[in-house]
Amino acid sequence: MERIHLEHFEPRPPSIDEQEPAAERIRSFAESNKGAPDMSEAERCFSCGHCTQCDSCLVYCPEGIIDRTPDGYLIGLEYCKGCGICVVECPRGAMEMTPV
């Protein structure tokens, strides 16, 4: 979680699970939690560690060596200076620097 940049995301309160009324819950052992009322809880997901093609790495690369492809991004490693700005600016922590 320390690699996620929360300032890139709009804060949203969690949804409240719907519950059977207390009077109904004490009468049986049936499931009382009806779950979330809609899919809004899934929209709060940060997609931690997964690239969502937000283009932050492309925008912040000072060398301009990151290209967008249909499958993701291509980094021109022969020109990369190893500054790590793309890794630092990735809001989801989907990039990392490793020695080659």
Q: What single string gives the DSSP state of each residue in the chain?
A: -TT--GGGS---PPPPPEE--HHHHTT--S--EEE-SSGGGGGG---TTS-----HHHHH-TT--EEEETTEEEE-TTT-----HHHHH-TT--------
User: Does residue 53 form part of some domain?
Assistant: no
User: Does residue 78 form part of some domain?
Assistant: no
Q: What is the pLDDT of residue 2?
A: 67
User: Does residue 87 form part of some domain?
Assistant: no
User: Does residue 14 form part of some domain?
Assistant: yes
Number of domains in the chain: 1
Does 1 have pLDDT greater than 60? Answer: no
User: Does residue 10 form part of some domain?
Assistant: yes
User: Does residue 58 form part of some domain?
Assistant: no
Q: Which range marks the domain in which residue 20 is found?
A: 6-44
Give tens-digit pLDDT for 46-78.
888 889 899 999 999 999 999 999 988 999 989
pTM of the model: 0.66
Average pLDDT for 18-38: 89
User: Does residue 19 form part of some domain?
Assistant: yes
Mean of all residue pLDDT scores within the chain? 88
Residues sharing a CB contact under 8 Å with residue 56, sequence separation 6 or more, in sequence order:
8, 86, 89, 90, 91
